[in-house]
A and B are shown apart, each in its own frame.
Chain A
Amino acid sequence: MIDTALSADVRAGRLGHSTLRPDGVAKVQGTFQFSGDLTADGVLWGATLRSPHPYARIVRIDVSGAWKITGVEAVITADDVPGVMTYGLIDQDQPVFASDVVRFVGEPVAAVAANHPDACRRALDAIVVEYEVLQPLTDPEKAVDGSFEAIHPLGNVFRQQRIVRGDQTIEGPIVVEGSYELGMQDQAFLGLEAALAVPDAGGAGVELHVATQWLHEDRKQIAACLGMADEQVRLVLGGVGGAFGAREDISLQVHTCLLALRTSRPVRMAYSRQESFLGHVHRHPCRITMRHHADHDGRLLRVEARFVFDGGAYASTSSAVLVNGITHAQGPYKCDNATVDGWAVRTNNLPCGAMRGFGVVQACFAHEAQMDKLAAAVGLDPLEVRLRNAMETGDRLITGQVVESVAPVARLIRELAAMPLPSEPVGGHDLNPMRLPGGAGRTADVGNVRRGIGWAVSIKNLMYSEGFDDYSTARVRLADGIATVKFATAEVGQGFVTLAGQIARSVLGVDEVVLDQIDTQVGSAGSTSASRQTWMSGGAVDGACRLVRERMFERVATLHGLDPLGLVIEGTEVVDTVSGLRLEVSEATAGIEFDETFEHHHRPTEDLDEFGQGNCHTAFAFAAHRAVVDVDPELGLVKVVEVATVQDIGRALNPLSITGQIEGGIAQGVGLAVMEEIIQLNGHVKNASFTDYLLPTFLDMPDVVIGLVEEPEPQAPLGAKGVGEPPTVSSTPAVVAAIRDAIGKDLTRVPVRPTDIVFG
C-alpha cells in the first residue's frame, strides 16, 4: 500500500528526498570502521595457505616447519575442523580446507595465526604440501558431454535445466543465429575481505565481525563447520567496502573463527588483492548459442538457446545463476515458443557465483546481439524491432509465468530514443587527445576514429526465486519522538541505512532516527543481493513502523476519545482528520515505548518443472541503454563516450542514491564490455592484481545520462523496484552493439579485446 505521496517538495529526510548518507561524514573523514580496520587487544593475524595447482591430489601435508617460526600461535588444516567439513550456499560441497584433493588454484589447504603478518607469511612458506598434480578439467564442454572423469564425488554437472514451451516445430521465415561468449568478471570491490573473530571465554562461542552480504546465512554455515549451535556464533557487520555479489559466499569466515577458538585470542584476517581474486566467487564465464525465428515484420516466433555456465570448482550459487540465465533468454520481448537447454558445470577453474546481474548479464548479452541481427535481417531499425516485440504487463515468459510487474518496455525505448545524442565530435570540441581511444597513450589518429551507436534493453528478476521463502526482518522502537531501527540488512555501500531512516521518518513522523548495530541479534534480512533490499528490508522497516504507528494511534485515540482510523501523520504531528486535533509525535510517545518487529515476505514462488515451466520469479525490472563509442579500428582501441539510460524504478525513494546505483552499475557494465576479465590458462590465473586486471578509471568512464520511469509497482511495499542490477545488465550489450556499429564486425565475445576489433 502506498499512502506516502511523493512530490517535488518532499520534506527533508523523507521518502522521495535525496537524503544524505548517515555514515557519509565518517567515511569522508576516515573514521568509519571497515572490517579490515577492526582490531583488539592481544590480537593475532591469520593467513591462509592456498593450492598452487588447479587439480592435484594431496599426498602429504607437513606443518611442523610453521611451528618453528617465531610468533606462530596456531597452524590448522582440515584435521582441525570440528564440525562439517564443507560449506556452500545451496549445496555444501566446498571444503573448509582441502584434505585429499585440491580443485582450483587458490583453494585453502591450511591456515596459521601469528603475531605479525610477516610471521604468517613465513609460516605459510614453511608448510610443506606434497601434491600429485593431475590434469585439470578446464573446458566446460567436457563436463557437459561427460568426457572427463568426475573431479568431485558429486560429479561435474551442477545442474541441467530445459525450457520447452509452445510449438517446437515453428520455423521463421527469418532466422538469425549466433554464438556468444562472456569472460570471467571479478566484482573487484575495493575493501578486501577482512574479519575479526573474538572467542568467548572458555571457547563457548565466538563473535565474528565481518564484511558480508548476509549475516544469518554466514552464521548458519560457520556454526555448522565449527560444530556449534547458531546461538553460539554471533555475527556483527564490519564496515563493508563494496560487495557486488562476491561476499555472498563464505571466504575467510570459518578460518578466522577456527583460529580464534584454537588460540583463545582475537584473530584478524585480511586478504591481499591477489588472494581476493582467488578467494571469492566470480561472474560465470558463459557460452551461449541462440537462434531466433521471426516473421517478416520482425515479430519473434520462437527462441532456441543453449547455455553453458562454467561454475568452476564448487557449486556456490551456480544452479540459481543457471536458472536466472535461461529464464531470461527471451529478453524483454513477447515470445510464445522456446527451446532452451542450460548447464552449469564443474571445472577446475575458479569457483563462480553471484555478481550483480546474476546470470541475466550473460543472457542479455546474447539476446540483444540477436535482436540487432534480427533488425538487420528484416531491414528494420534496431529500436523498431524491439518496440514491435516489447513485453507488456500480462505477457508470459517462456516459463509460462505471467509478468505481473509493471513492464514499461516500450516507454523506456521511446524515452531513450528521444534523448539527444552527445554533441561533442570525436575527440571533443577542443580535440583533446585524452578523449580519443587510447587516451593518455595519445596513439589514435582522429581521422581514423569511427563513432558507433548501440542499444540494448533488459529484463531482470528481483529478489529470490524458485520457491525460496525470501524474507527480511526489522524491529522498530519509538519513544519520546525518537525511532530506533534494528535490522540485519548488510549495508555494503548501496545506502539502505539512508533509506531505513527515510522510511521511519515518513511513516512515524519523527525527525530523529537511530540505527542500531547491524548484527544477528534480530531476525534475518536475507542477502544484500538480487536488487532486493529496498523491497524486502524496506518492506520490513515499513511494516514494523506501521505496527508501531498503529499502537501510537490507538493510544492517542484512547487518551483523547478519538477513532484511531481518523488519525494520520502530517510532518511531525499526529493529526485527527475528524476533529482537527494535532499532537506532536514526541508528545504522543512521551514516557512510553512502542516496540514492534515485522517480517516482510514476498509472494511465494515455485520450482520449475522438467520442462522449465513454473512461476519461479516474483517480480521484474526493466532498463534500456544507449551507448556511443569512438573506435580506432586499426589500433583496436575504444573510447566509450556516453551511456544514456532510461530505467524502470517504480518510484524514486532517494533520487541521489538511484543516480549512484545507475552510474556505478553502468561502470561495471562498461568494464565487462571492454576491459574486465580474469584470464586463466589451463586453470592458472594470469592476472590476479589491479595491475593486470583492468578496471574502469575516471578516464575510462563515459558520461552517463539518466532518465527514470516512475510507475509505482503495486506488489512492492513502497512502490519501488530494486535499481542495483539493471544498469549492469544492459549496458554491456549496448556498448558492444555500438562498437559493432562503428566497425561492422560481429564481436561475439566480451570483453571486446583490441585483437577482436583488429582481426575479428
Chain B
Amino acid sequence: MSEPSNLVYTLHVNGHASDVRDAWLGESLLYVLRERLGLMGSKGACEQGECGSCSVLVDGELVCSCLVLAAGAVGQQIITIEGVAPAGAPSDVQQAFVDAGAVQCGFCTPGLIMATHSLLERSPEPTEYEIREELSGNICRCTGYGRIIEAVQRVAVARRGAQ
C-alpha cells in the first residue's frame, strides 16, 4: 500500500484530458473514473472481473475497469458510458435497451451497453449464440437476459436496414 502523494497523471476520457490529483497509486481505473473524475456511470459489482458492470473501452478494447490500474491507462483513449452518446440523446443501442425492456434495476446496463457497442462493431450481424457468448462476461441478475438479446438483435436489424 502506498502513502498518499500529490501524484498527477492525465487520463484521456471521452475525448477530454483529465488530471488526476492526490491519487493513491493502487487505485483502479473504475475507482478513479467514479471517485476522482465523477463519472459514476461505470458500476462496480464484484471488482474481480466477473460481472462486466464496470466495462469501458480502452484504446477501443472492451475491458473491466476494475481490473485496470488507472495510472496504467495514461496515454490511452478511454471511453465510458458517459462518452457513448450525449445526455438525453441515447445511442441506437441505448434506445433499443429501453424499448425492448432490457432494463430493470439497470445496474448491469451501462456495462452491457459498452459490451454491445463493442460486439456490434466487431460483428454487425451476430447470431443468437454469438450474442450469448460475447456478452457472457456481463451478468444481469434481474432480466434473465431474454430482453437484452432482443435489444441487441433489434439494433443489428435496424443497422442493416439503414445501410
Chain A residues with CB under 8 Å of chain B are 18, 20-21, 23-34, 36-37, 70, 116-118, 122, 187-192, 239-242, 244, 272-273, 428, 432, 434-435, 440, 492-495, 656-657, 659-660, 662-668, 689-691, 695-699, 701, 703-704
Q: Verify A704–B146 contact, CB threshold 8 A.
A: yes
Residues of chain B from 66 to 94 with CB closer than 8 A to chain A in the complex: 80-82, 84-85, 87-88, 90, 94
Known: A118-B24, A122-B1, A663-B144. A191 touches B129 (CB 8 A): no
CA distance A239 to B90 in the complex (A): 20
Q: Which residues of A contact B4 (CB under 8 A)?
A: 70, 116
Most buried by B among A24, A188, A244, A440: A24
CA distance A23 to B104 in the complex (A): 9
Q: Verify A241–B146 contact, CB threshold 8 A.
A: no
Residues of chain B from 16 to 34 with CB closer than 8 A to chain A in the complex: 24, 26, 31, 34
Q: Which residues of B contact A26 (CB under 8 A)?
A: 106
Residues of chain B from 144 to 162 with CB closer than 8 A to chain A in the complex: 144-149
Q: Verify A30–B40 contact, CB threshold 8 A.
A: yes
CA distance A385 to B56 in the complex (A): 53
Interface contacts beyond A663-B144, A663-B145: sample of 17 additional A-B pairs, CB < 8 Å, sorted by A: A20-B101, A28-B90, A28-B95, A29-B41, A30-B40, A34-B43, A36-B43, A116-B4, A118-B24, A241-B105, A434-B132, A493-B106, A493-B107, A495-B104, A659-B146, A664-B104, A695-B139
* CB contact between A704 and one of B107, B141, B144 (< 8 Å): that residue: B144
Q: Verify B139–A27 contact, CB threshold 8 A.
A: no
Q: Verify B101–A659 contact, CB threshold 8 A.
A: yes
Q: Verify B105–A30 contact, CB threshold 8 A.
A: no
B50, CB-defined interface residue at 8 Å: yes
Q: What's the nearest-Cβ distance from chain B to residue A440, in Å?
A: 7
Q: Verify B106–A32 contact, CB threshold 8 A.
A: yes
Q: Return the CB mask of B33-58 against A: 1 if under 8 Å, else 0.
A: 01000011111111110110100000
CA distance A190 to B50 in the complex (A): 11
SS of B interface (majority):
loop
Q: Which residues of A contact B142 (CB under 8 A)?
A: 190, 242, 493, 660, 664
Q: Verify B141–A190 contact, CB threshold 8 A.
A: yes
CA distance A24 to B93 in the complex (A): 13
Q: Verify B105–A698 contact, CB threshold 8 A.
A: no
The 24 sampled A-B contact pairs (Cβ below 8 Å) are A20-B101, A21-B103, A27-B109, A30-B113, A37-B40, A189-B107, A190-B51, A191-B43, A191-B45, A191-B105, A192-B44, A239-B106, A241-B43, A272-B47, A273-B47, A660-B143, A662-B144, A663-B143, A664-B104, A664-B143, A666-B144, A689-B50, A697-B139, A703-B146
Q: Verify A493–B136 contact, CB threshold 8 A.
A: no
Chain A residue at minimum C-beta to C-beta distance from B38: A39
Q: Verify A273–B48 contact, CB threshold 8 A.
A: yes
Chain B residue at minimum C-beta to C-beta distance from A243: B105
Please classify how large the interface on chain B is, using the bins under 10, 10 to 19, 20 to 34, 35 or more.
35 or more
Q: Which residues of B contact A668 (CB under 8 A)?
A: 141
Q: Return the CB mask of B124-143 against A: 1 if under 8 Å, else 0.
A: 00000101110111111111
* CB contact between B88 and one of A25, A440, A656 (< 8 Å): that residue: A25
Q: Which residues of A contact B105 (CB under 8 A)?
A: 189-191, 240-242, 492-493
Known: A27-B103, A659-B101, A664-B104. A698 touches B145 (CB 8 A): yes
Q: What's the nearest-Cβ distance from chain B to residue A124, in Å?
A: 13
B59, CB-defined interface residue at 8 Å: no
Q: Verify B132–A28 contact, CB threshold 8 A.
A: no
Chain B residue at minimum C-beta to C-beta distance from A31: B87
Q: What's the nearest-Cβ distance from chain A to residue B71, in Å?
A: 15
Q: Which residues of A contact B34 (CB under 8 A)?
A: 37
* CB contact between B133 and one of A273, A440, A690 (< 8 Å): that residue: A440
Q: Which residues of B contact A664 (CB under 8 A)?
A: 104, 141-144
Q: Verify A435–B101 contact, CB threshold 8 A.
A: no
Q: What's the nearest-Cβ distance from chain B to residue A377, in Å?
A: 35
Q: What's the nearest-Cβ distance from chain B to residue A655, in Å?
A: 9
B99, CB-defined interface residue at 8 Å: yes
CA distance A184 to B115 in the complex (A): 31
Known: A122-B1, A434-B129. A29 touches B140 (CB 8 A): no
Q: What's the nearest-Cβ distance from chain B to residue A167, in Å?
A: 43
Known: A244-B141, A656-B101, A697-B136. A663 touches B147 (CB 8 A): yes
* CB contact between A241 and one of B42, B84, B107 (< 8 Å): that residue: B107
Q: Which residues of A contact B62 (CB under 8 A)?
A: none
CA distance A525 to B85 in the complex (A): 36
Q: Verify A29–B141 contact, CB threshold 8 A.
A: no
B11, CB-defined interface residue at 8 Å: no
Q: Verify B103–A28 contact, CB threshold 8 A.
A: yes
CA distance A698 to B105 in the complex (A): 17
Q: Which residues of B contact A32 (CB under 8 A)?
A: 106
Known: A25-B94, A691-B50. A190 touches B143 (CB 8 A): no
* CB contact between A663 and one of B39, B98, B146 (< 8 Å): that residue: B146
